[in-house]
Chains A and B, each alone.
Chain A
């Protein structure tokens, strides 16, 4: 398997623009997680899904952030409108919990810069 695939790797945008980050989890995994990493706040869990259903979105900072998982092989994290304080590295991770090892496999991340 190719692992968790995130796109784009880098995104530079201007304040107020819409940003969409994409994630393809490992095939067969039943959980998908979105994290944000900054120097100031470290690694933060934003939201996670089980079998495409959002389970806990308490980490989503504001209504400007939304996440979807329309099928088992694709998820998006959208920021609209974006602000400079959203600049961070966003990671997607997937795991197999039910009958699995519960190891989270991370993508390489999307580095977002909002100017």
Chain B
């Protein structure tokens, strides 16, 4: 069975600082991994996705994530936070072999301090 754990329900960083949102997964098969972002009063939208191949995945808005199989992690980073990055971020996993249902983490709310 697949599961996702996001460490920290709320992360606060200063504008211009590094953003690091942590995600660990459990999967019995090679997984697809996703990061979604939800801005206030909107639906979720895809930031980036890992399937196979290169373990460092680049997404929109300067975000990237690295798939580390040995650590079962898929942490999301951005070198320099912007005020517009304030949102809820969800890590998600789906089984490689039958990628229909996606298991979402509980979410991390990112706040940006001026």
Interface residues of A (CB under 8 A from B): 4, 31, 33, 42-43, 45, 48, 50, 55-56, 91, 93, 95, 97, 101-109
By the criterion of a CB under 8 Å from any partner CB, how many residues of chain B are at the interface?
18
Supplied contacts A42-B106, A103-B46, A104-B44, 9 more A-B pairs, CB within 8 Å: A33-B101, A43-B44, A45-B104, A101-B49, A102-B94, A102-B102, A106-B45, A107-B43, A109-B43
Instruction: Give the residue of B32, B44, B106 whose beta carbon is less than 8 angstroms from that of A102.
Output: B32
CA distance A71 to B43 in the complex (A): 23
List the 5 closest A-B pairs by CB distance, nearest first: A106-B43, A102-B99, A106-B44, A42-B106, A43-B104
Q: Which residue among A33, A42, A55, A107 has the maximum number of chain B CB atoms within 10 Å of its CB?
A: A42
A-side interface mostly: strand
